[in-house]
Amino acid sequence: MKKVFHSAETRGEANHGWLHAKHSFSFASYFNPDRIQFGALRVLNDDIIAPGRGFGTHPHDNMEIITIPLEGALEHKDSMDNTGVIEAYEVQVMSAGTGVYHSEYNKNQDQAVNLLQLWVFPHTQNVSPRYDQKNIAALKKPNTFYPIVTPDPKGPALWIHQDAWFHLGEFDQETTLTYTLHKPGNGVYAFVIEGGGQIAEETLEKRDALGIWETDSFSITAKEGARLLLLEVPMHY
């Protein structure tokens, strides 16, 4: 088993007034040659967007983009004529593929929105652009991990063009369990949204992360009140 620990304090940071962002990997003006990506996971941004503000229309291509709101509401518009609002316990997926333009704005005028945005390199280039969003409350299971993103277009979770599995876990009591990877050659980037615990024998607190690879499984002990995100992706793609 190989591991790399990223404490919350070592993330890159950008504060533009309307946007306060923390970058787990090199992004925009933040560059760290040791933190370009984790396998196919290219971006994990922890964004706080001021009321009524947001990202104007901009392009993407050949990237799977996943947005997970933690607090507040985010309004989406894109060149595929999709419009919508996503809130906590909803997840948005956009396959940029051959190219798409979109904008993202804080829907509310009186409170900030906090979201996680993730970019994953796809296994297939130049797919047709696609948009989807889902309320994941029905998928939630207490004190264990439940899938929110998988490669399966026919499953209950959202799907992307990559052999990747994203799981959330919310714990109202201390819980110990084992996570088994779905595919040889994959690794897991474990990110602590709230609380803390021990992952693969490493102690993590809020917004800390641990990359784990070259193993079939690892142990997790989540503290009471913890909320954890497990991002399983191919290490080579």
How far is 39 from 28, CA to CA, in rounded Å? 19
Query: pLDDT at position 190, please?
Result: 98
Q: How far apart are the first and last CA of the chain?
A: 19
pLDDT tens for each residue of the chain, 237 residues long: 999 999 999 999 999 999 999 999 999 999 999 999 999 999 999 999 999 999 999 999 999 999 999 999 999 999 999 898 999 999 999 999 999 999 999 999 999 999 999 999 999 999 999 999 999 999 999 999 999 999 999 999 999 999 999 999 999 999 999 999 999 999 999 999 999 999 999 999 999 999 999 999 999 999 999 999 999 999 999
What is the structure's pLDDT at 209? 98
The reply to whether CATH 2.60.120.10 applies to domain 11-123 is yes
Token couple for 181:
């990877």
Structure tokens at 65: 């983009």
Residues of the chain with CATH 2.60.120.10: 11-123, 138-234
Report yes or no: 235 and 187 within 8 Å, Cβ to Cβ: yes
pTM beyond 0.85: the answer is: yes
At 188, the amino acid letter reads V
What is each CA distance from 56 to 12, 52, 77, 101, 141, in whole angstroms?
A: 22, 12, 10, 10, 36
The strand pairing partners of 5, in sequence order, are 210
- CATH fold for domain 138-234: Jelly Rolls (2.60.120)
Residue 115 has a pLDDT of 98
